[in-house]
């Protein structure tokens, strides 16, 4: 029997962060035995904001190397670059013709990101949820692993799927469901713990990049914002402390309560130093393996070629089906 299909991707707008790793890639590894997984580097989403072409290409390879180094297995999962599969933009155009302005106006990510885009806001930044819907619908995806902030995109995809099936029949596209991941679903910025850790944050000192050295990681955790108290506890009014506990919990699998009780009588300084050590222990082998892949472009290109072939195989069938349904002559 065919396994249920999972699809996920990361924008290579910069080198990946601890947030991307704990919120996405680490979970991808756990999902790959139970599901048939399509994991992408979504370079077409990345150009909705300004990119340096040389950096974009490097960041795309870095993302893919990180997936592999973290344990995503190219023998069981399909790893590919979005722009290698032209069906994504083919379906995105169709969805542009079936999505509504009102739906896109409600997307909170557009509101957030357009504020930092100056006055020339790219049209793609407004319509990219439809490209994301195309990404999902192309593979007859059952489940999309998402953090809280991405739930809205899956909801939009479900609405559009229902609309298409209503117009053209139930077999037009498959309606996906969000798959909300556990602890680590939201890693916060170390300097502004009320905001999620982001690749493109203005101040890089609040973000742990997977390419950071151990020393850089230690320094960033040392400077992490906590609060004026001293006692380690897990509560809504101690966002900085809570974030460090969540990071430890996502890596070690220990519950926040267990972690808090191990800090009885200790200060914030201990929590910061030990969180940095736990993060470094997790990331050091991934960092080394990522480097190894990047130094062997032949192997990486081979994996990407095979991944794209598998992805195109599925995507071309879906696009042909939808082309027929909407009335294109093929
Ligand atoms: N801080 C985070 N905590 C948990 N999960 C996170 N993800 C991203 N940041 C965190 C998860 O990573 C996947 C892909 O995200 P993305 O990089 O494509 O887009 P994003 O969520 O908009 O991340 P950034 O870093 O803030 O993007 P930029 O700076 O490029 O705009 C998703 O599964 C997401 O939940």
Q: Which residue has the higher pLDDT, 152 or 80?
A: 80
Ligand 1 contacts CB of residue 24 (under 6 A): yes
Kindly report the protein residue whose alpha carbon is nearest to atom 10 of ligand 1. Answer: 19
SS3 sequence, 123-158?
Answer: HHHHHHHHHHHHHHHHCCCCEEEECHHHHHHHHHHH
How far is ligand 1, taken at its centre, from the CA of residue 19, in Å? 7
List CB contacts of 166: < 8 A, sequence separation 6 or more. Answer: none
- The residue assigned the tokens 């320094």 is 219
- The residue assigned the tokens 């998402």 is 146
Catalytic residue ranges? 113, 196, 199
Ligand 1 contacts CB of residue 187 (under 6 A): yes
Position in ligand 1 atom list of the atom nearest CA 187 = 3
Distance CA(208)–CA(279), nearest Å, equals 10
CATH 3.40.50.620 maps onto the chain at 5-180+297-326
Ligand 1 contacts CB of residue 11 (under 6 A): yes
Whole-number average pLDDT of the chain:
94
pLDDT interval class at 183 (50, 70, 90): low
Q: Averaged over 245-260, what is the pLDDT? A: 94
Using the 8-state DSSP alphabet, how is residue 7 labeled?
E
| Tokens standing for residue 39 | 């994991």
pLDDT of residue 184 exceeding 70, the answer is: no
- The residue assigned the tokens 């200790």 is 266
How far is ligand 1, taken at its centre, from the CA of residue 27, in Å? 14
**What are the backbone angles phi and psi of residue 77, rounded to the nearest 5°?**
-105, 150
Distance CA(191)–CA(201), nearest Å, equals 11
pLDDT of residue 227 exceeding 90, the answer is: no
Residue 288's nearest CA partner among 217, 211, 219 is 211
Element spanning 114, H or E: helix 108-115
Distance CA(213)–CA(41), nearest Å, equals 23
**What are the backbone angles phi and psi of residue 122, rounded to the nearest 5°?**
-75, 140
| Tokens standing for residue 95 | 């969805």
Q: Which residue has the higher pLDDT, 100 or 231?
A: 100
Within 10 angstroms of residue 302's Cβ, the number of other Cβ atoms is 12
Q: Averaged over 146-169, what is the pLDDT? A: 92
CATH 1.10.240.10 maps onto the chain at 204-291
**For residue 112, with 0-12 CB atoms within 10 Å meaning exposed, 13-18 middle and 19 or more buried, which class applies?**
exposed
pLDDT of residue 144 exceeding 70, the answer is: yes
| Tokens standing for residue 23 | 């919120």
- The residue assigned the tokens 């502004």 is 192
Distance CA(307)–CA(301), nearest Å, equals 10
Q: Identify whether the C-beta of residue 226 lies closer than 8 Å to the C-beta of residue 241.
A: yes
pLDDT of residue 119 exceeding 90, the answer is: no
* Assigned fold of 204-291: Tyrosyl-Transfer RNA Synthetase (1.10.240)
Q: Identify whether the C-beta of residue 65 lies closer than 8 Å to the C-beta of residue 290.
A: yes
Q: Can you give the pLDDT at residue 151?
A: 85
Q: Averaged over 36-43, what is the pLDDT? A: 98
CA distance readout (Å), 237 to 178, 191, 226, 304: 29, 15, 10, 45
Kindly report the protein residue whose alpha carbon is nearest to atom 16 of ligand 1. Answer: 10
Ligand 1 contacts CB of residue 146 (under 6 A): yes
Q: Can you give the pLDDT at residue 112?
A: 77
CA distance readout (Å), 20 to 31, 57, 147: 16, 18, 10
Q: Considering only 51-60, 110-119, 190-199, 250-259, which range has the smallest mean pLDDT? A: 110-119
Ligand 1 contacts CB of residue 13 (under 6 A): yes
CATH class as words, domain 5-180+297-326: alpha beta
Q: Can you give the pLDDT at residue 185?
A: 67
| Tokens standing for residue 270 | 């201990």
Distance CA(158)–CA(142), nearest Å, equals 11
SS3 content of the chain, % helix, strand, coil (to 5): 55, 10, 35
Q: Can you give the pLDDT at residue 1?
A: 79
Q: Can you give the pLDDT at residue 228?
A: 79
How far is ligand 1, taken at its centre, from the CA of residue 189, in Å? 12
Q: Identify whether the C-beta of residue 187 lies closer than 8 Å to the C-beta of residue 246.
A: yes
pTM: 0.95
Ligand 1 contacts CB of residue 198 (under 6 A): yes
């Amino acid at each position: 029997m065919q396994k249920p299909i999972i699809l996920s991707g990361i924008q290579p707008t910069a080198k990946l962060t601890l947030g991307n790793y704990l919120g996405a890639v680490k979970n991808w590894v756990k999902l790959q035995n139970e599901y048939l997984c399509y994991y992408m580097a979504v370079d077409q989403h990345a150009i909705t904001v300004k990119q340096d072409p040389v950096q974009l290409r490097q960041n795309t390879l870095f993302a893919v190397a990180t997936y592999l180094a973290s344990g995503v297995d190219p023998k069981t999962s399909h790893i590919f670059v979005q722009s290698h599969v032209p069906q994504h933009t083919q379906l995105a155009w169709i969805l542009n013709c079936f999505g509504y302005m009102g739906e896109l106006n409600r997307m909170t990510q557009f509101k957030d990101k357009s504020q930092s885009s100056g006055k020339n806001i790219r049209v793609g930044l407004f319509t990219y949820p439809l490209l994301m819907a195309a990404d999902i619908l192309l593979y007859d995806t059952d489940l999309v692993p998402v953090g809280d902030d991405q739930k809205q995109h899956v909801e939009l995809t479900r609405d559009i799927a229902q609309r298409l099936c209503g117009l053209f029949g139930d077999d037009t596209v498959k309606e996906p469901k969000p798959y909300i991941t556990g602890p680590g679903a939201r890693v916060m910025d170390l300097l502004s713990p009320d905001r999620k850790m982001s690749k493109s944050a203005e101040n890089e000192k609040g973000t742990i990049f997977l390419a950071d050295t151990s020393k850089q990681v230690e320094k960033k955790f040392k400077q992490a914002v906590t609060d004026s108290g001293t006692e380690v506890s897990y509560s809504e009014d101690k966002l900085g402390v809570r974030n460090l506990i969540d990071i430890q919990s996502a890596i070690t699998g220990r519950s926040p309560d267990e972690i808090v009780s191990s800090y009885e009588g200790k200060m914030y300084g201990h929590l910061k130093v030990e969180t940095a050590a736990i993060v470094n222990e997790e990331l050091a082998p991934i960092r080394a393996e990522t480097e190894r892949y990047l130094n062997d472009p032949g192997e990486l290109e081979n994996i990407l070629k095979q991944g794209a072939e598998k992805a195109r195989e599925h995507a071309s069938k879906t696009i042909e089906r939808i082309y027929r349904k909407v009335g294109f002559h093929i």
